[in-house]
Amino acid sequence: MLDIKFIRENPEGVKENIRKKFQNDKLKLVDELLNADKRNRDLMQESQALRARRNKVSEEINAAKKAGKPAEKLLKEAKEIPEKIKALEDEQKKLQETIQRCLFAIPNMIHESVPIGKDAKDNVERAKYGTPKKFSFPVKNHAELAEELSIADFDASAETSGKGFYFLKGKLALLNMALINYARDYMIKQGYAYIEPPWMIREHILTGVYSAAEINAMAYKIEGEDLYLIATSEHPLIGMFIGKTLEKKQLPLKITGFSPCFRKEVGSHGLDEKGLFRTHQFNKQEMVVICEPEESYALYNEMLQHTVNVFKGLELPIRVLECCSGDLGDLKAKSCDVEAWSPRKQEYFEVGSLTNMEAAQARRLNIRITDGKTKYFAHTLNNTVLATSRAMVAILENYQNKDGSVTVPKALVPYMNGVTTITKEK
| Residue 111 included in any domain | no
155: exposed, middle or buried (C-beta count within 10 Å: 0-12, 13-18, 19+)?
exposed
Per-position DSSP letters for 41-75, written without gaps between them: HHHHHHHHHHHHHHHHHHHHHHHHHHHT---HHHH
| Residue 394 included in any domain | yes
The pLDDT, as a whole number, for residue 75 is 83
Q: Do 251 and 378 meet the contact criterion of CB atoms below 8 Å apart?
A: yes
* Ordered strands of the 334-342 beta sheet: 124-129, 318-322, 334-342, 347-358, 379-387, 281-291, 253-262, 193-195
Final residue of a structural domain among 53, 78, 105: 105
Residue 68 and residue 135 in one domain? no
Beta strands in 292-425 (DSSP E): 318-322, 334-342, 347-358, 368-370, 375-377, 379-387, 406-407, 421-422
Mean pLDDT for the chain overall: 93
The pLDDT, as a whole number, for residue 370 is 96
Q: Convert the pLDDT of each residue in 53-103 to its tens digit.
A: 888 888 888 888 888 888 788 888 888 888 999 999 999 999 999 999 999
Residue 21 and residue 170 in one domain? no
Would residue 350 show up in a list of annotated catalytic residues for this protein? yes
Would residue 101 show up in a list of annotated catalytic residues for this protein? no
Final residue of a structural domain among 105, 139, 159: 105
Residue 97 and residue 132 in one domain? no
Q: Which of 263, 363, 364, 368 is catalytic?
A: 263
Would residue 353 show up in a list of annotated catalytic residues for this protein? yes
Residue 230 and residue 285 in one domain? yes
| Residue 114 included in any domain | no
CA–CA separation, 407 vs 396, rounded Å? 8
Residue 146 and residue 268 in one domain? yes
Range of the domain at 291: 120-422
Whole-model pTM: value is: 0.90
Q: Which of 353, 358, 364, 368 is catalytic?
A: 353
Residue 125 and residue 98 in one domain? no
Q: Which of 8, 53, 278, 319 is catalytic?
A: 278
Q: Which of 47, 233, 390, 397 is catalytic?
A: 390
Residue 297 and residue 382 in one domain? yes
Would residue 211 show up in a list of annotated catalytic residues for this protein? no
Residue 94 and residue 160 in one domain? no
Angle between helix 27-67 and helix 11-20 axes, rounded to 10 deg? 150
Residue 97 and residue 142 in one domain? no
Total domain count, the chain: 2
**At 371, which CATH number?**
3.30.930.10
**At 17, which CATH number?**
1.10.287.40
Final residue of a structural domain among 105, 135, 154: 105
Residue segments in the chain with a per-residue pLDDT below the cut of 50: none
Per-position DSSP letters for 2-23, written without gaps between them: --HHHHHH-HHHHHHHHHHTT-
